[in-house]
Structure 1
Amino acid sequence: MTANHTAAAQTWRNRIKQEFLLLLFTALSVMLACVDPQPWSRYQGWLQWPTLCGLLGLMVSIQGIRDSGLVQRVAGMLVARMHSLRGVGLLLVSMTAMLSMVLTNDVSLFLMVPLTLAIASVSNLPILRMAVLEALAVNAGSTLSPIGNPQNLLIWQHAQIPFFRFLGALLPAAAAMFALVAAVTWLWLPKGRVELQADKLDGHPVSASLAVLSIIALATMVLMMEGGHAPLGALLLGVPFALFSWRTLKCIDWLLMATFAMIFLGLGHLASLPIVEHAFGEIDSPLSLYLTGIVSSQLISNVPATVLLLDRTPDAIALAVAVNVGGFGVAIGSLANLIALRLAKQPHGMQLFHAVSVPFLLVCGALVYLLTRLQA
């Protein structure tokens, strides 16, 4: 083995050692496979191939937009027109929340976090704080829409709730969540003015061909995901990038994809265990449902929690409120949290996220419950 191969292997070993969640959920998946072996078809279902393919397609598209230099150019234009850090922060979290209502929470983050990183690269905007705030913002914004996140889509389709009735029922909870996010943004970001680093504003040439290819790929991927054809969409957009922008594919965070695969596999298997299913049973009390939705989301993430609770309660709207609130708190409460932190790639991100998100869950949980009881 050459010195270059040895160095590359050592680099990969060091990277994997830093992947705490990947190692944790790989160990969980292996342990469950040993103590509760299942047919291969069940493992395929738990892996959620359409979701993984959709994430891969989004990552390729956004990496292409980033490589084209377009996001850096837009960032320079945007920040040049803003004056205060708090103003920039409120604009970004508002855009993130609004996009999550129509493009889903993960698509919103794949668009907004790179833009935020680009703005931070030419100014004094605090990157990690904004990544945490944008994770909170997508959880708040996507709560309102039946297509804003996977748990809402599951509940909406399962309960056959009219679109606008769903919007009206979730509006108080979503409004309270976003008001809290806006308040945290205003209080947490520095009061100062945006300080531009002028030498970095004009150093980003734009590749128009790569930008157009990437934007078309992103729009195509979103449409294919909406139509239930995410694997085909990922395959189709992989071809032009392999032919014309191989560097984009090389820059994809493949360890993030592996982490999500292991999370889906481990949590899916865990949620299907008879002892776990029996622990929930039928839930009739509004407070019991609310607390169960939040706590189970903290333990197994809010999408598996939704699947587990969907047939155990007659109140689909109350379940939607509970699991959306459960997206705050610990990072695995919502996969959007992990996406935001991973895209930001900042040291100590997980610690800062929990220092903000756990207290946020406690305040938000109490406030939203009071609002829903008044609404009832």
Structure 2
Amino acid sequence: MVSIIILALVVLLISIRRLGRYEIAMWQAMTLGAILVLITRQISFQQAILSINFEVIFFLLFMFILGSALELSGSLEYLAFKLFKKAKNVDLLILQMIFFFGILSSIFTNDTIAIVGTGLALILSRNHKIDTKLILLTVAFSVTIGSTLSPIGNPQNLIIAVEGSIPNPFLTFFKFNFIPMILNSFFAYLVLKFFFRKEFREEELIHEEVEIQDSSLAMITLISSIILVVLIIIKVIVAYLTPSNDFPLVYIAMVSAIPVIVLSKRRREILSEIDYKTLIFFVSMFILMESVFLSGAIQSTLDKLKLGSIGPLNILGVSVIISQLVSNVPASMILLPLVRNSVPTLMALASGTTIAGNLTILGAASNIIAIQKSEKLGHSISFLEFLKVGLVLTTFDLFVYGFFYGIVAKLNILR
């Protein structure tokens, strides 16, 4: 119970971002929560160390290295120009970002695109004088919605696909989520346009030609990026043909970062630009969420609900709620043993824990990555500002998935 109270305190601090005269960053609030559960002995030091998913931490570290190199070389700004130079107005730009980042997230995982995409999106915001809140929400929503499309789109999809033994996972995820993904992507655009209608001005966007700032570093980042793409393609093929031989994403990130670390003369500058505060946030989050898990409060409540007997529609709603309390990856691990072993129910769990990221900042790791990165650059969005827009979008997301899964259940299809 103490862990739940501490978690509630952390959520409150992240919501208000202030304690008296002092502003509190998200990483500071989460670190405070981790310290409190350790001090109150809700989790032992050994359990705390074991709770940290170092695979995630090192994945983020290596991707941050590549992201920093892309920014310092000017490659990211050059890429932003090349990718979106045909967008004649803000409407087309936001639509292109939603679908571009979304599709990439289904291939390269939402966390990867959140890291690179946020920097790219903030450049677009600066160049075209677009509200950074609109840009941040575009990145957050697009990588969340797009990642539903494949079993490697996000960590919880992969966990559910493997542990749930979903047959032919790439085809199954596509069949269940392609139509909802398209509908939810278009609605994300409409919701953003409604809340930020002043930003969707009619005048034509002017895209100024951009040049690479550091050609040597740009060449190194190009090599790293090619390695990244090739290894992810290999991972997709391996995961599809022989799942037992699949390898972690952290290996891909590590190998991709090696050229930057070894070959670049600006390695110290690159390492100094890494967002270490985000890494601290995730270390603290793992500790706090493990203490909540060890308390057994959530598991006992879910067990009483007998989720295994109520089907995919209820799983959708419950998974969205639980994901706000413990984030979506832990939520998938908590709920997976409690649901019945049918493809529609397992897919509902994957969809619910993923679109939960559209509701609040804490609903998805990719949200944290995007917002922490933006805060480092002097931009942010509050918990309530995110919730105001996210609540409308998530309601529609649930309606789409509920309607779709209702048809699936009624017609006995997609099994």
Using structure 2 for the length normalisation, give the TM-score.
0.78
1:244-266 superposed Cα distances (whole Å, 9 cap, x missing partner): 43111111121121112111221
Change in CA separation of 1:173 and 1:220 when aligned onto 2, cut-off 3 Å:
same
Match of 2:164 among 156, 159, 165: 159
1:56 aligned partner, one-letter code: L
* Alpha-carbon shift at residue 232 of structure 1 (Å): 9.1
Match of 1:338 among 363, 368, 373: 368
Match of 2:331 among 268, 286, 305: 305
1:166-206 superposed Cα distances (whole Å, 9 cap, x missing partner): 321233432332232232345445132344385xx55x543
Question: Partner of 2:357: helix, strand, or coil?
Answer: coil
Question: Partner of 2:206: helix, strand, or coil?
Answer: coil
1:9-44 superposed Cα distances (whole Å, 9 cap, x missing partner): xxxxxxxx6443223222322232244455555323
1:208 aligned partner, one-letter code: S
Q: Which residue of 1 aligns with 2:391?
A: 358
2:72 aligned with 1:46: no
Please, what is the CA RMSD of the aligned residues? Answer: 2.7
Q: In structure 2, what is the Cα distance between the partners aligned to 1:37 and 1:220?
A: 43
Q: Which residue of 1 aligns with 2:284?
A: 262
- 2:184 and 2:396 in contact (8 A); partners too: no
- 1:173 and 1:372 in contact (8 A); partners too: no
Q: Which residue of 1 aligns with 2:153?
A: 148
Q: Which residue of 2 aligns with 1:176?
A: 183
Match of 2:202 among 192, 198, 202: 192
Q: In structure 1, what is the Cα distance between the partners aligned to 2:120 and 2:31?
A: 32
Q: Which residue of 1 aligns with 2:356?
A: 326
1:1-376 to structure 2, matched below 5 A, reads 18-36=23-41, 38=43, 40-161=45-166, 162-163=168-169, 164-187=171-194, 188=196, 189-196=199-206, 201=209, 204-218=211-225, 220=227, 223=231, 227-228=247-248, 230=250, 234=254, 237=258, 239-240=261-262, 244-281=266-303, 282-283=306-307, 284-286=309-311, 287-314=313-340, 315-345=345-375, 346-376=379-409
2:405 aligned partner, one-letter code: T
Q: In structure 1, what is the Cα distance between the partners aligned to 2:23 and 2:228?
A: 30
Percent identical residues: 19
1:63 aligned partner, one-letter code: S
Change in CA separation of 1:193 and 1:78 when aligned onto 2, cut-off 3 Å:
farther
Extract unaligned runs of 5+ from structure 2: 1-21, 236-246, 410-415
- 2:321 and 2:356 in contact (8 A); partners too: yes
* Alpha-carbon shift at residue 79 of structure 1 (Å): 5.0
**Which deviates further from its counterpart, 349-358 or 59-68?**
349-358
Extract unaligned runs of 5+ from structure 1: 1-16
2:310 aligned partner, one-letter code: S
Q: Which residue of 2 aligns with 1:6?
A: none
Question: Partner of 1:327: helix, strand, or coil?
Answer: helix
